[in-house]
Structure 1
Amino acid sequence: MGKAKTAVYVCIFILVWAQLVLPLIPGYAQSVKLQDLSLYNPMWNGCFLLRMELSRNGYDIRPLISSLSVLSRAEGATVMILSPTSIINPIELMELVDFVREGGGLLIADDFGAGNLFTTILFMSMGLPPPMFYNSPLYGSLTGGITMWTPTPVVNVFNASHPIFKDVNQVILNFPTALWNVPPENQVAALAPGILDINKNMQLEPLNPDMPLPVATVVAAYDLKRINIGGHEVSYGDGRIVVISDPSIFNNEMILKGDNLRFTINVIDWLSRRDEGGGSNLVIFDEAHLTATYSYDKLFGSILSYIDWASANWLLAPIYPVLIVFSVWKWLPKSKPKEMGPTAVYLKRGKTFLAERLRWYKENRQYGYALKLLYRRMKRHIVKRFKLREFSVDVVVDVLAEAVPTMRRKQLRRFLEEWEAIDKGEKPVYMGSETFLNHFFVMKRIMEAVIVGKRS
């Protein structure tokens, strides 16, 4: 086993086992996270209260720290993706498309993150126009006019007949953005009027460069069974999607303001079809695509995401166990095969013991041992050729410097010292085929120059 393979083993061992062992150390594993919008963050910017309230309403809240590919195993669940900022794998999003089409619920809430990537791939894959986030702060009017604006506006236009606004009178936002490219029938909440702070300098300058909006959509709802196309309802699947332009309404600071909590429960009820008396109580909260900060679960989730994707993929899943077994068999170090004795070798006419052992080492990929034989043979020839009493690196370097002029003294010394250490057992003899060839050709040059009399 070569150095590269050993390094791979060490890295894999540390990455996998550290994530399992470190959480067992007292004081290392913490149930408190300071990541924005994390379920385990009790600070103002976390979603700890959201988790508690959803659990109190009978929902089973589970964090997702790996790949969206596992959604294929959570039929009918509801997925919450808040302010995604990490790079998303398009293959994962295709799994999300299938999940929603087959009846899953999806909530995407974003303002200045990577939400547009999610909505673009998701909706275009289903043949629908994607709702887009402006990614600029949206201010709402305090009085209904255009003179007084606030970054924490109250939603003043909403579809009261929609189930997500049942018993909801006041939804308070906190530095939201606006949605565009949303069909009128899917616009369920808005600010009227609103103004976008395009240059994000927190100084509103209507028309130049900031953008006034007579109606700024902040919530869009899609029931894939009832998509309006040219005045006719067309089915694009069985799932439901809600897109909100302000993820902060779910954090600990905002969730209890106004009717935000009631609105949140209504959204989850509608996505899970609990409002119809059915559906699943499983809510999957995507922690994997939040702001990328280091944690042991983040690192472990990154590794696990590839395993989840491969095992959940319909094409790879049947052969994945076979690939794992083959990889383990191929990479795990094997015990050295029992060597053949000289008796059996000499019975083969025309073959020397050295040649047969070299062939045996090659067949069993024991390249280091093969070179060790060749090195000892080279040492014997050098001692005999130059009539030396014993093999000494210093003496041999001097005599070889003239016999092999293309090799520098420093290069010769380094090569001989390395092989002397290997020959004495001070360094490991394992090496790959490429290293074997490099060392073999160096020995070949020395042997040709010294024994045959050729000059390299």
Structure 2
Amino acid sequence: MKKIFLIAFTTLLLSSALTVPITKSSCEFSMFNTGWNGCSEFAKILHESGGVIPVMYPYNTVGGFDGTLVVVGPDVGFSSHEADAVRKFVENGGTLFIADDFGSANSLLTKMGVDATFYNKPLKDIFYTKSMDFPVVVKFSSELRGFDRVVLDVPSAITTGGEGFSSSMSVIGEVEDIVNKSGNYVVFAEIKYGSGRIILFSDPSALMNDLYPENKEFMIALASYLGNKFYFDEVHHSDFNPYSMSTTYVYKELDRRSAGWVLFVLVVVGFVSLLGNVKFRISRRTRQRELPAWVDDELFGRMIREMRSGSKYGDENEHENSGKDKE
């Protein structure tokens, strides 16, 4: 029983160790980055909404998608092969979500022939928190529900019609231009593309952990709006290192494999030990019952006791009892 308990306890420890996540990253906008400039909290919301899978290699090399491709803060260009893969994915009913401001998303939109781009200048607004670098947006379409406002962090704007707007007292460029160039600018837009859709958001920083307390409700509403299965782009972050990620992944796989062999050996040893105990007990009982029928069991037992005690009468109690019988 003690051996079985020991095996069960060891199995529990091994199983618990195999489920501990160790993957982390310091890359800006990475779903693995738990720091202020990461998107780990947003990734958790996506996971709770249906599941999230990191994309760490070019789109055209990872096979097809069947949900929503999430691209946050890209700063690496998109190849023509990748653009073709995304185009087919969206045309067949997929959703492409891009949160960008001054990054590389325009290269993907241009290659896909989308008539929309991100401005290359920051959006300023007289409605803000902290400073004008943190404008507050409250005007969204009725389809996006569950939040009152979104706090932005040095956002851009989008050159198309949309579902989310800054105030009429906002401007692209310098604050001095508010008097002459102010107006509502698009910060959130949805574009139909084949059987799918492209959703643009002009501030990736609004999805960072740093603004999670202010924008949690918006992140939850956004995840619900986007779908229920997500692919999170990591390959278009220049600071993201696929090699270190792969090393961590392979290292974990080797640990799991080794632990699996240890667990297998423990189970086999435990089973053999348990089987040996059963066979030993059965063999003892079998030996006790293998005496011929003509052997007197009582006499045979007394002979065994005499040999063990070195006395003809077995032990003192038996000798006393024997004497009493004679009297």
- How far apart are the structure 2 equivalents of 1:84 and 1:53? 20
Counterpart residue number, 1:53: 45
User: CA distance change for structure 1 residues 293 and 167 in 2, over 3 Å: closer, same or farther?
Assistant: closer
**Corresponding residue pairs, total:** 226
In the alignment, structure 1 segments of 5+ residues that lack a partner are 1-28, 199-203, 225-235, 273-280, 301-456
**The residue matched to 1:254 in structure 2 has which SS?**
helix
Question: What residue is the counterpart of 2:176 in the other structure?
Answer: 205
Shift of 1:70: 5.0
Greater than 4 Å deviation, 4+ residue runs? 297-300
Cα distance in 2 for partners of 1:245, 1:211 equals 23
1:248-263 matched pairs, under 5 angstroms: 248-257=205-214, 260-263=215-218
Assess if the C-alpha contact under 8 Å between 1:112 and 1:136 holds in 2: yes
Question: Take 2:122 and 2:184, find their aligned partners in 1: how far apart are those partners?
Answer: 15
Aligned positions of 1:28-427 closer than 5 A: 31-57=23-49, 59-70=50-61, 72-75=63-66, 77-122=67-112, 124=113, 128-129=114-115, 131-142=116-127, 150-159=132-141, 161-162=142-143, 165-180=144-159, 182-183=160-161, 186-197=162-173, 204-206=175-177, 212-222=181-191, 224=192, 236-257=193-214, 260-272=215-227, 281-294=228-241, 296-297=243-244
SS at match of 2:177: coil
Cα separation, 2, equivalents of 1:47 and 1:149:
23
Gaps of 5+ in 2: 1-20, 248-327
| Distance of 2:68 and 2:242 partners within structure 1 | 25
CA spacing shift, 1:167–1:81, aligned 2, 3 Å: same
TM-score under structure 1 normalisation? 0.46
Residues 111, 177 of structure 1: 8 Å contact kept: yes
Q: Which has the bigger relative contact order, CA under 8 A and spacing at least 6?
A: 2
Larger radius of gyration: 2
DSSP 3-state at the match of 2:76 = coil
Secondary structure of the structure 2 residue equivalent to 1:52: helix
Name the CA shift for 1:299/1:60 in 2 (closer, same or farther; >3 Å). closer
1:179 partner SS: coil
Report the residue type matching 1:158 in the other structure.
F
**TM-score, reference length from structure 2:** 0.63
CA distance in 2, matches of 1:36, 1:283: 19
Kindly state the Cα deviation for residue 295 of structure 1 after the two structures are TM-superposed: 5.3
User: Any conservation in 2 of the 1:241–1:271 contact (CA below 8 Å)?
Assistant: no
Contact 2:118 2:202 in 1 (8 A): yes
Whether the 8 Å contact between 2:77 and 2:107 is mirrored in structure 1 is no
Hey, what does 2:308 align to over in structure 1? Answer: none
Q: Indicate if the aligned counterparts of 1:65 and 1:287 stay in contact, CA closer than 8 A.
A: yes
- Name the CA distance, whole Å, in 2 between partners of 1:133 and 1:292: 22
How far apart, CA to CA, are the structure 2 residues paired with 1:211 and 1:136? 17
Distance 2:188 2:220 in 1: 15
* Cα separation, 2, equivalents of 1:211 and 1:297: 50
Contact 1:190 1:219 in 2 (8 A): no
Asked whether the 8 Å contact 1:35–1:41 carries over to 2, the reply is yes
Contact 2:45 2:219 in 1 (8 A): no
The 1-side partners of 2:233 and 2:165 are apart by 24
Q: After TM superposition, give the deviation of residue 212 of structure 1 in Å.
A: 3.2
Report SS of the residue matched to 2:137. coil
Report how far residue 115 of structure 1 moved.
1.5
The alignment partner of 2:166 has SS state of: strand
